[in-house]
Amino acid sequence: MPEKIDLLNLNFPVDISDNSKLVITKPTKIRMHNEVERRIDPNGRPYFWYLGIERTPPKDTDAYEVLVNKNIALSPVILEWITDSDIERLERFMKD
């Protein structure tokens, strides 16, 4: 494994072909837009429905190569960049 790379993420298109290439690219940061919708059940009680709305993947990312170009995408994943303050920020977010 190359130095400072912890994992490799390998993604294949559903409709892979002989023309599909292996492309080394960066991972997509986010492909979904999230919304929460308030609804009312048949008994008149509110509930919340979590919506994941798909976005067009940005160019030069694994998702773009797989979903748009129909290529195989290989992306490095680096875990050591997560700091203690990142963990604390996530803990605060989850409490709110």
pLDDT digits (tens, 9 = 90+) for 16-41: 999 999 999 999 987 778 899 999 99
Q: What is the pLDDT of residue 31?
A: 72
Q: What is the pLDDT of residue 32?
A: 79
Contacts 24+ apart (CB under 8 A), 42-46: none
- Enumerate residue ranges in the chain where pLDDT < 50: none
